[in-house]
Amino acid sequence: SQTIHQWPATLVQPVGSPLSLECTVEGTSNPNLYWYRQAAGRGLQLLFYSVGIGQISSEVPQNLSASRPQDRQFILSSKKLLLSDSGFYLCAWNGQGGEKLFFGSGTQLSVL
């Protein structure tokens, strides 16, 4: 069966520090991969999605970047975190042509 792993679960980082959040999917090949952010008291915002290795689409301009170095690995990064980067980050995947998204357990990022 397919599973999605996302880590770390919580992270506290100072302003200006770098960020790397990792997401891996098991049990499937060539998934579509997504990064969402959920700010406190707000809905989900799609940040990036990827339909294949090295293919990244950005939905909103921001301080973050994403990379997909392997088929089932999706990384969210920042060179210098801002206070506004705080939030709950969710990785998700679906199959090619699949309609249902499967979410990871999320990372709570606090930038202080």
Nearer to other proteins among residue 18 and residue 40 (C-beta): 40
39 Cα distance to chain centroid? 14
Nearest-approach distance from CB 65 to other proteins, in angstroms: 18
Nearest-approach distance from CB 46 to other proteins, in angstroms: 6
Nearest-approach distance from CB 48 to other proteins, in angstroms: 10
Site of interaction with other proteins (CB under 8 A)? 6, 32, 34, 36, 42-44, 46, 49, 51, 57, 59, 90, 92, 94, 97-106, 108
